[in-house]
Amino acid sequence: MSQLSLQEILPTDLQTFLIVLLVCIWVWLGYRLAILKRGISSLTEALKTTPLPSPKDLPIVGKQNRLGKLSRIVLDTVSEADLQRDMATGTQRIQNVLLDAVKDALFIVDDFQEIRFANKAAKNLFDTKDFEGRTLIEVCLDHQFAETVDLAMNTGAAIQDQIRMANDSRVFLIESGPIDNSYQIGKGAWLMIRDISAELHTEQVRQDFVANASHELRTPLSIIKGYLEMMDGDPEHANAVRIMMKHTERLARIVDDMLLISRIESPDGRLLQNQAVFDIGDCIYDMIEQLQPMIDAQQAKIELKLPKEPENREFYGDRFYWDQIFFNLVENALKQNPAPGLKVKVQVRNEEGRFHIRIVDNGVGIPSSDLTEIFKRFYRVDKSHAQTIKGTGLGLSIVKRAVEAHHGTISVASQPGAETCFSISLPGPPAKVLEKSS
C-alpha cells in the first residue's frame, strides 16, 4: 500500500485554514518578540540613567503588561540597592572622618597582616599614603608591631606593650586586639599606636630633678641634724632642739622616700638587680620588730598567718623593696588608726605558683571616693588630719611601684568603719631559681 500525501488526507479548505493559522501565530510571536526586545531595550537604557526613572514613566508599563511588572520589580530592586549602597557609603565616610579625628595611629589588618585601613594619624606617623596591599611590617619597618598583632590574634585578647624603635629614639605605646566576629568582616586585628617619646622625656627630666634635689638636700640635712644632736644637752634650748630635731627627721625621711621612688622608677630599679631567694616571713618579722614601739604605744595587735612549710615562703625578689612594702603598709594602718585596740592581720598564701598577700585592719576605713587616689604621691585621705597624722605621703606610692617592679598587682578594698584590705598578687620564684638556690 503506497503512502498518502497530506493533500490527499486533508481537504483543501482545511489545508488553507492551517496555513493561515500558522502564519497568524508566526506574526503574533514576531509582534510579541518585538515588544519584548523594545521593553528590554527601554529597561536597559533606564538602568543606565542617573538617577533611575520612576517605573510608571517607562512606555512599556501597563496594567496588563507582564514586562511592565518585571520592569517595576527590577527598578525597585535596583533603586533599593542604590539606596543601601549610598547609605553604606555615607556611613563609611562618617566612620573615616571620626577615625581620622583620632590622634593615635590606627591600623586594621587582615589574617595575613595586610593593611585594610589606616587613619590619617597612621599615614602621618609613618610618612606614607600608599598602604593598599602592603603588610604591617613593610610600613612600620619593625618586627615588634607585627609580633604584638600576632600575639593578640593568637590569644584572642587585647595586648598592650611599650616598644622603642630600633632606627631612632622614638618610643611607642601600642595596643592590639582581635576583630570581633560579630562585625562579619573576616578574621583580623586592630592596632593602635601612640608616640609617647615626649611624655617619657618629660617624666625622665622630672625623675632626674627629684633624684638630684633629694641628693643635694641630704647633705645639709645631715649637717643640721648633727649640730642639733650637739645642742641636745643644753637645757635652755631643749624644747626648741627637740622640735627642730623632730621636723628635721621628718624632712630627712621625705628625702629618703623620694630617693627610693627615683630608684624604683629608674632602669636599674625596674631590673631589680639584687634579686635573690629569701623567706618572705623574715621581712614580716623584721617589720614587726621595727614597729614594735608604735604597736605597744597604740595597744595594737598584729596577727600573722603564714605558710607552715618553709618552701612555701620562699620568694624571689629584691629583699630591700619587700622590707619597704610591709613596713609602709602596716605603718600606714597604725598611723591612720591611732586609737587603742587596732587589729592588723598579715596573711600570706602560696597557691599554684603565685603569692597572695593580704593586709587587713579593722580601723576607720577609706571612703570609696579615695580608693582610686591613695597610691598617688603625697595624697592624703583626710586632709583635716594632715597635721595630726604624720608621714611623708609617699609610702603607698612606693608600695605600688615596688610591687609592679616585681610583676605583681596591688588593690585595695574598704568598708568605712569596718575594715581596710590591701591585696597583693604576684608570681612565685621560677623553678630554675629554686633549684639553683637549693
User: Can you tell me the mean pLDDT for 106-127?
Assistant: 84
Cα separation, 116 vs 175, in Å, equals 17
Q: Is residue 161 scored above 80 in pLDDT?
A: yes
Q: Which of 431, 406, 424 is nearest to 271 (CA)?
A: 406
Which grid coordinates are listed for 211?
Answer: 633624684
Q: Is residue 269 scored above 90 in pLDDT?
A: no
CA 92, chain centre distance (Å): 26
pLDDT for the residue numbered 63: 44
353, 406: one domain? yes
Q: Are 267 and 247 spatial neighbours (Cβ–Cβ below 8 Å)?
A: no
Which grid coordinates are listed for 381?
Answer: 585621705
- CATH code of the domain in which 261 resides: 1.10.287.130
237, 262: one domain? yes
310, 413: one domain? yes
Per cent of the chain over pLDDT 70 is 69
pLDDT for the residue numbered 8: 60
377, 236: one domain? no
Mean pLDDT of the chain: 77
Cα separation, 365 vs 413, in Å, equals 9
396, 305: one domain? yes
CA atoms within 13 A on the CB side of 203: 10
38, 12: one domain? yes
Query: Is residue 1 in a domain?
Result: no
Instruction: Tally the domains of the chain.
Output: 4
259, 283: one domain? no
CA 385, chain centre distance (Å): 36
Which grid coordinates are listed for 70?
Answer: 518585571
Q: What is the pLDDT of residues 393-414, one digit of tens each?
A: 777 888 888 888 888 899 999 9
Cα separation, 263 vs 250, in Å, equals 20
| Lowest-confidence segment of 35-44, 352-361, 376-385 by average pLDDT | 376-385
Q: Is residue 347 scored above 90 in pLDDT?
A: yes
Q: Which of 208, 220, 289, 229 is nearest to 251 (CA)?
A: 220
191, 214: one domain? no
Query: Is residue 207 in a domain?
Result: yes
Any idea of the CA torsion for 156, 162, 164, 166, to the nearest 10 degrees? Answer: -10
298, 428: one domain? yes
Give the end of a domain, one of 57, 72, 92: 92
The model's confidence at residue 64, banded by pLDDT at 50, 70 and 90, is very low
130, 206: one domain? no
- Helix (H) or strand (E) run with residue 70 in it: helix 66-101
- CATH code of the domain in which 340 resides: 3.30.565.10
Q: Is residue 423 scored above 90 in pLDDT?
A: yes
Query: Is residue 425 in a domain?
Result: yes
Give the end of a domain, one of 92, 118, 150: 92
Q: Is residue 81 scored above 70 in pLDDT?
A: no
pLDDT for the residue numbered 301: 92
Instruction: For residue 107, give its domain range.
Output: 102-195
Give the end of a domain, one of 169, 195, 221: 195
Q: Is the dihedral of CA 123, 127, 129, 132 positive or negative?
A: negative
Q: Are 148 and 172 spatial neighbours (Cβ–Cβ below 8 Å)?
A: no
Query: Is residue 97 in a domain?
Result: no
Query: Is residue 424 in a domain?
Result: yes
242, 299: one domain? no
Q: Are 389 and 382 spatial neighbours (Cβ–Cβ below 8 Å)?
A: yes
Q: What is the pLDDT of residues 226-242, one digit of tens each?
A: 767 777 666 766 777 77
**pTM here?**
0.50
283, 388: one domain? yes
